Chain A
Amino acid sequence: MKFDLTATIVFVGLFLFITWIGFIAARWRKADLNLLHEWGLGGRRFGTVVTWFLLGGDLYTAYTFIAVPALVYGVGAMGFFAVPYTILIYPILYLIFPRLWQIARDRGHVTAADYVRDRFGSRWLELAVAVTGILATMPYIALQLIGMEVVIGALGFPAGGFVGHLPLIIAFIILAAFTYTSGLRAPALIAIVKDMLIFVTIFAAIVIIPAQLGGYGAIFASVPQEKLTLTPPGAGTLGSYSAYVTLALGSALALFLYPHSMTGILSSSSGNVIRRNAALLSAYSFILGLIALLGYMAIAAGVGSDPAYAAGFSQYGANFAVPALFLQSFPSWFVGVAFAAIAIGALVPAAIMSIACANLFTRNLYKSFWRPDCSDADEARVAKIVSLVVKVGAVVFILAIPQAYAIQLQLLGGIWIIQLLPPILLGLYTRSFHPTALLVGWAAGTAIGTYMAAAQGFATSVYPLSILGVTIPGYAALYSVVVNLFLATALSWVLDFVAKRGLTSKPSPPL
Chain B
Amino acid sequence: MTKTAAKRAWRRYWPRLLFLLPLTAVLTVPFYNRLEPTLAGIPFFYWYQLAWILIGAVIVIIVYLIETRLTHTAEAPKALVDTPDAPGDLL
A interface residues, Cβ below 8 angstroms from B: 43-50, 77, 80, 83-84, 86-88, 90-91, 94-95, 98, 215-220, 225, 228-230, 232, 241, 244-245, 248-249, 269-273, 275-276, 278-280, 282-283, 285-286, 289-290, 293
Contacts and interface: CB of A to CB of B under 8 A. Distances in A.
B91 A49 contact: yes
A83 B42 CA distance: 15
B88 interface: yes
Contacts of A98: 74
A289 B53 contact: yes
Contacts, number: 135
A87 B91 contact: no
A206 to B, nearest CB: 11
A292 to B, nearest CB: 9
B56 to A, nearest CB: 5
Nearest to B90: A47
Interface in B39-57: 40-43, 45-46, 49-50, 52-54, 56-57
Contact of B26 (A84, A220, A283): A84
Contacts of B84: none
Contact of A77 (B42, B45, B50): B45
11 contacts: A48-B90, A80-B45, A87-B49, A98-B74, A216-B42, A228-B43, A229-B35, A272-B75, A282-B56, A283-B57, A285-B53
Contacts of B52: 84, 87
Contacts of B82: none
A289 B47 CA distance: 10
B71 to A, nearest CB: 13
Contact of B87 (A45, A86, A218, A285): A45
A104 to B, nearest CB: 14
Nearest to A219: B41
A395 B60 CA distance: 39
Nearest to B48: A83
Contacts of A270: 77-78, 87, 89
A98 B77 CA distance: 12
A47 B50 contact: no
Contact of B35 (A88, A228, A276, A289): A228
Contacts of B25: 87
User: Which 7 residue pairs across A and B have the least CB separation, nearest first?
Assistant: A217-B41, A47-B88, A282-B57, A269-B87, A216-B41, A279-B60, A91-B19
B11 interface: no
A282 B54 contact: yes
Interface residues of B, number: 44
Given A219-B41, A241-B33, A270-B87, A87 B63 contact: no
B87 A47 contact: yes
B57 A279 contact: yes
Given A47-B90, A285-B53, A229 B41 contact: no
Which of A241, A245, A269, A278 has the most chain B CB atoms inside 10 A of its CB? Answer: A269
A393 to B, nearest CB: 33
B29 interface: yes
Contacts of A87: 22, 25-26, 49, 52-53, 56
A434 B22 CA distance: 33
Contacts of A219: 41
B54 to A, nearest CB: 7
B54 A286 contact: yes
Contacts of A278: 60, 64
Contacts of B50: 83, 286, 289-290
A483 B28 CA distance: 25
B87 A241 contact: no
Given A94-B64, A286-B54, A49 B90 contact: yes
A296 to B, nearest CB: 9
Given A217-B41, A218-B41, A269 B89 contact: yes
B75 A271 contact: yes
Contact of A230 (B33, B68, B91): B33
Contacts of B27: 245
A225 B54 CA distance: 27
B42 A244 contact: no
Contacts of B91: 47-50
B70 interface: no
Interface string B59-72: 11101100110000
A220 B43 contact: yes
Contacts of A218: 41
B22 to A, nearest CB: 5
B91 to A, nearest CB: 5
B16 interface: yes
Contacts of B43: 220, 228-229
Nearest to A270: B77
A289 B56 CA distance: 14
A278 B60 CA distance: 7
Nearest to A48: B90
B70 to A, nearest CB: 14
A42 to B, nearest CB: 10
Contacts of A293: 46
A5 B53 CA distance: 39
A95 B43 CA distance: 32
Nearest to B45: A229
A98 B34 CA distance: 38
Given A95-B19, A229-B34, 14 more contacts: A43-B87, A83-B49, A87-B52, A90-B56, A91-B23, A225-B35, A245-B26, A248-B26, A272-B76, A275-B74, A279-B61, A282-B60, A286-B53, A289-B50
